[in-house]
Every structure is written in structure tokens, then in C-alpha cells.
Structure 1
Amino acid sequence: MSQAHPYTTLISAVNLQQNAQQANWVIVDCRHDLADPAAGRAAYDAGHIPQARFAHLDRDLSGPTHTADGTFKGRHPLPAPDALLATLRKWGINDDTQVIAYDAHGGMYAARLWWLLRSLGHASVAVLDGGLATWLAAGQTLSAVEPTPAIGNISLKPALVASVDAHDVLSNLTNLRRTLVDARAPDRFRGENETIDPVGGHIPGAKNRFFRDNLQADGRFKPGHQLHEEFSELISEPQTAVMQCGSGVTACHNLLALEIAGLHGAALYPGSWSEWCSDPSRPIATGA
């Protein structure tokens, strides 16, 4: 691979193995468990792809949950750009670095890092298709050694992605300019079996696309043409679509799937349902 043709969506385990030793490649382990926030680090310590850094969803890939005046911004707000840049530099990421993110959860956390790097204008970032399982299935080994990279120099560039806030989503309830797509499981979308957020349901008018529907049975992403066909049944213009979920994490999985499908320009609502339902003045819907 030359830097003229970076990996910008997915990479196979074979291609990662062939390139992993390149000096300008950085691999990041994004494993996490919402019910046990320490589990990802424990799994990393037990064994990770050699030279991989570890990204903690709560500490590295999210910002403070409340503003200075105490307003709740959702369970996983976006980190401030300066804080995110400092984290990425700590991992040794430069402006010309090819970043590879992986997890063991179908890409649900790796896609968050993919989107965050694109929010800083960094295009050379891809998700390991099929995650850690495909690396191991390809006969590759793991390491328990944590690397100590030199500080990187990644800088802020014009964003390659867009985002909206709760005010934009509230306004959309009347002007209907955007199509909202919720990445949560169908039962949570309907307002059933809600165990994470204090209120069940969804934003009125939202459509449901469970992020796991982007994957094949083997855990790899469906082909681009299939994703294009399936998402085209939900959204007419990707530039007017907004992806959301519970806290702005698995929505990035849908955004990655859209990019694979060639449907560019959809925005992220980072606060998602966790922020939306925290204000009782905002309307909610239940059912299909």
C-alpha cells in the first residue's frame, strides 16, 4: 500500500498482516464492554495484535458527560478536538499515519475511532474487517507487550464528517429536512427491554437500522452493493440523513457502512438517545 491509496473504510486481516510492520502504521485496540468498562483493558493486557495501542471508550474516545453548567450531553459525548489530538499523538499518530482500528464486537467500537479521526480531517483510517477473530483465524499471534511509541504530530484539518446537536434534531421534528436512523436493537428502539438509559423509546420519526444488520454471519461487513441497496430503502439522500443510537457509538457503525456503500455525507448525532431522553420536554415515541 502506498500513502497515495490509503485504507479509508475496511482492511482485511491478510492486508493488515502484510503491512503491520510499516513505520507509518498504527494499530489501535478498541475492545470495550458497556457493562464492564474495565474488560477491554483486561482483554488487551491478556493479548492484542502486536504493537497495538489501547483506546478506552470512556476515557480516550469520549469527553465529559456534563457541561460546566451541569447539562447532560449523553453517555459518550465527543471528546474535545484538542484532547483527542493529544491522545492520538500519545499513540504516535502523525499526519501521514495509516491507522487501523479493531475490536472483538463486529466493529461497534472501532468504528467510533474511525469516525473521530475523520472528524479531525484524517482520512487514512480503516477498521479491521471481522475484528480480532479474523486476525486469529488467519493464523496470526497476539502480544502482551504494550508499545511505547514516540509522540506523534497529527494536526487538525478540515473535518471529513458532519454532526448535529439536539437543537437540530428538535427543529427537524417540524421541518422534516433530515431522515433520522437509529442503530439500536429493534426492541430498544420500540421502547422494550431498555436497560441502559432511564427512558425507553426513540426520537419521533426515526427509522431503525440495527448496526449488526451491516454484518454477514461471519462478522465481516456485507459487500458495498448490498449495503447500498439496504440503506437506500431507508434514506433517499445521504446528505440529509442523521445517524444516531444510544450514545453516539454504534451510529458510527452505520456511518462506516454508508461509506462502504458509497453513500457519503450523512451526519452523526453524538448525544443520541441518551442525551435526547434526559430532557423531559423532548417528545418520545414507542413501538415500531
Structure 2
Amino acid sequence: MVRGQCFCGAVSFEIEGALSAPSLCHCGQCRRLHGAPGAYTSAPVSAYRISGEESLNWYATSKRAEQAFCRICGSKLFWREIGGQDLDACMGSLDAPTGLTLGRHIFTRSQGDYYEIGHDGVPRFAASSAGAEPIGEEMPPQSGPKKTEHSGGCQCGAVGYRVSGSMRDVVVCHCGQCQRIHGYAPGYSAAREAELIIEGEENLAWYRTSDRARRGFCRSCGSSLFWNPDDRDTVSITAGSLQPPTGLKTVLHIMVADKRDYYTIADGVPQVPGSSAANPITF
């Protein structure tokens, strides 16, 4: 029996039976929705018992598939083919330890330009792994030079933003809160609040994840967009929601003491067990 839930606890579930080896999807859609690559395992629909379904919001990601997120806290939870027999669950929503091992990277030729996958020995597929042969390691897309103008937004287009100024390089957070909400360890850049303009704010839902910070996500598609601490003049922005080329690179992994058991960090970027407070990343 495997159990899981969203961050706020409004939606919880149990899965009875074997789960598939997780896939890590690097497509642009997953990165916009999750603010991170999409990490999913799968089981038959009949194996699930879901509580709190009234708090689920299903968003059609294409004509054949849809994704579910908690309408209260924005946690990414499920993906399914419409009319299919299986239901995929986000790895970050599962209670730890999962006892699983990452089985494949998919859509690697669509990966973000701000990170590298690294030498983790996991098979890679250029697109879907269904009926395909794995490929070798390839150079990631180039992020280009630093920029002073940036834009981005959610998957459905209801929320957009513009930054008139430089943005901080990317920090990947492996804490349990981020895993629950994003479904996988997210990469965050940051902008000065005075240089950030948000368009479609009426479509932006804010959820207070602690007594010192809140997170913003699109009400319609669930895309994770912002982390906004109370005591700073900056707003953290998911790198996956940025329009490429980003001009950014991943420079630090934080909270790695909380990293989930099914994946390894293999990109050679510095890691710290806790926060970056002792060595903050500057603009």
C-alpha cells in the first residue's frame, strides 16, 4: 500500500499494488505546469482510492490527456489519458520513502536550457519512451548570455509576467514542501519585486505555505509560478515558466538532506544539506 496527498491535505490517496518505475519528463509543458520536470509513476485506476476529489481541478493538457492539481494549495497530483485504464501519480505527492528507482528520462530533447541532467546512468529517450530506443547523453540546449528583460507565464496563458532587470541564477530545492507542491524538485530563479509585472493577477491563486511565505499558481491550469517570502524585496519565479532562452544556469541544490529516494543528483552542481542562508546566491 502506497499513500500520498497534496501539501494542504485536502486531497489524499492510497494505491494498492505495484507501481511502475518512475519517469522524469523534461518537456516544456511539464516544466511550465510543475515548475520542474514532471516525475510520475503509474498504476491502474482501479488500484486507487482517492479522498477529497471535490478539491481536485482537472486541466486538459491536450485533446487526449489531463492533469489534476489541488485547487486549494496548487499541489500537482495526477495525470491521465482521457478514457485510459491507468492513472499516473506525481512522485512528490507520495509519502517517503517511496522504495522506487527512476526508470527513464523522457523528452530529453525538450529539456530546459538552465540545467543539465547529469551522468546518472538512467536511460534517456528523445521523446516518449513508448516503442522507442534510448539515446545517449547529449548536450543540453544553450541558455545564451545574461539578459535584462525576461518574460514567462502559465501553461494556459491566463497568467503572464515580465521582468525588467536581471534575474538570479537558478537554485533547485529538494525540500519536502517543494516536492509535495511541484511533484519534483523545482528550480527557482528570482526577480526584484519592483522590476516584476504580473499580468492576469485575477487568475493567480496564492496559498500560504508557512508563516513567512506564500506560493502563487494559476487557478485554471495549476502552473506553479511564484514563491513570495514576506521578508524580502524579491519574488522567486519557477525557471520552467520562463520563456527561453533564459540566460540562466543552475548554480546550487539546496535542502538535499530531504531529497527523495528515487533519484540522484548527478549534474556536478554544488549541493548543501539545508538552505542557502549561509551562502546566498546573488543577482
Q: The TM-score by the shorter chain falls in which range?
A: under 0.3
Normalised by the length of structure 1, the TM-score is 0.26
Q: Which has the higher helix share?
A: 1
Q: Which has the higher strand share?
A: 2
Normalised by the length of structure 2, the TM-score is 0.27
